[in-house]
Amino acid sequence: MVIDVLTLFPGMFQGVLSESILKIAREKGVLDVRLHNIRDYTEDKHRKVDDRPYGGGPGMVMSPQPVVDAVEAVRGDDPDAKLILLTPQGRVFDQKLARELAGEKRLILICGRYEGFDERILLLLKPMELSVGDYVLSGGEIPAMVVVDAVARLLPGALGDPESAAAESFQSGLLDFPQYTRPPEFRGLAVPEVLLSGNHAEIDKWRAQQALERTRQRRADLLDEPRNGGSHEQHR
Ligand SMILES: C[S@@+](CC[C@H](N)C(=O)[O-])C[C@H]1O[C@@H](n2cnc3c(N)ncnc32)[C@H](O)[C@@H]1O
């Protein structure tokens, strides 16, 4: 998959892309992330990319020309490129959407700054508007990293063990079951006996029960909503 990121701060991505799963996915050729500096597309002689809001008020607004030109130059006439603009006013990102996006060939992520985008950027480009949650960050870079990471780990070949993504929280509509590793006892707390039993049918049963119980206790809303992969009514 190709992911183009349009940002005023491409340097922010270097650390995230060069460690762990994202590093490996890029080295394997599963993921190709291309960073583009929106400032390189401005026609302003002072390289400005923002201006004061019409009507007054605090802060600056991202100007339409550099953003629209950057998107058009990067997208070219690629019909497969899915355009996504990061904004707290968008559809809230979740595992279902991560799965949908992992099925795309190419994503173009547009990161805002300041007070956000001139509205004509949205009217002209008609991107999918995507939020990472009901809070306001200083820019779209961290939200873009969230999307890149969540999508990349779902790409075939990105994870060493493909089963690990399948078992994670939300993937089945439930939270993940509790995990334990060595030692068998730590500060008086023992690993549940069943996990040491070697009986895989019993282990699977225990994990399924734990995942359901944990979801019921912490996120009962997930049991009611089919959005993460199906209703769990039959387990209730
Ligand atoms: C300070 S915010 C602007 C917020 C805008 N004035 C509003 O209230 O909707 C600057 C940029 O950060 C990004 N951003 C901030 N919070 C976000 C969130 N929860 N999800 C996605 N992007 C976000 C967006 O790209 C946004 O244009």
Q: Ligand 1, atom 20: nearest CA belongs to which residue?
A: 131
What is the C-alpha separation between 162 and 211, in angstroms, rounded?
Answer: 19
CA angle centred on 108, ends 86 and 167, rounded to 5°: 80
Average pLDDT along the chain: 94
List the structure tokens of 173.
């509509």
List the structure tokens of 80.
């497969």
What is 6-28 written as a DSSP string? EES-GGGGHHHHTSHHHHHHHHH
Ligand 1 center–CA 168 separation, angstroms: 28
Q: Ligand 1, atom 17: nearest CA belongs to which residue?
A: 88
138 lines ligand 1 (CB under 6 A): yes
For residue 48, the one-letter residue type is K
Three-class SS state of 193: helix
Task: Return the closest-CA partner of residue 176 out of 223, 208, 217.
Answer: 208
The 10s digit of each residue's pLDDT in 45-61 is 999 999 999 999 999 99
What is the C-alpha separation between 74 and 21, in angstroms, rounded?
Answer: 26
The 10s digit of each residue's pLDDT in 20-38 is 999 999 999 999 999 999 9
Asked if residues 140 and 13 have their Cβ atoms less than 8 Å apart, the reply is no
How much is the average pLDDT of 5-25? 98
Ligand 1 center–CA 150 separation, angstroms: 19
88 lines ligand 1 (CB under 6 A): yes
Atom number, ligand 1, closest to the C-alpha of residue 131? 20
Per-residue pLDDT at 190 exceeds 60:
yes
**Phi, psi (5° rounding) for residue 67?**
-70, -45
Probe residue for ligand 1, chosen from 87, 115, 138 as the CB with the greatest number of ligand atoms within 8 Å: 87
Specify the pLDDT at position 226. 65
Burial class (CB in 10 A: 0-12, 13-18, 19+), 141: buried
112 lines ligand 1 (CB under 6 A): yes
Specify the pLDDT at position 230. 46
Q: How far is CA 30 from CA 144, 187, 193, in A?
A: 18, 42, 39
Ligand 1 center–CA 173 separation, angstroms: 28
Atom number, ligand 1, closest to the C-alpha of residue 62? 27
Atom number, ligand 1, closest to the C-alpha of residue 138? 1
The model's pTM? 0.94
Ligand 1 center–CA 116 separation, angstroms: 6
Q: Which helix (H) or strand (E) holds 212?
A: helix 200-218
127 lines ligand 1 (CB under 6 A): no
Q: How far is CA 14 from CA 17, 38, 134, 195, 217, in A?
A: 5, 17, 26, 40, 38
Per-residue pLDDT at 231 exceeds 60:
no
Task: Return the closest-CA partner of residue 160 out of 45, 24, 26.
Answer: 24
Per-residue pLDDT at 164 exceeds 50:
yes
Specify the pLDDT at position 19. 97
Q: Residue count of the chain, please give it.
A: 236
132 lines ligand 1 (CB under 6 A): yes
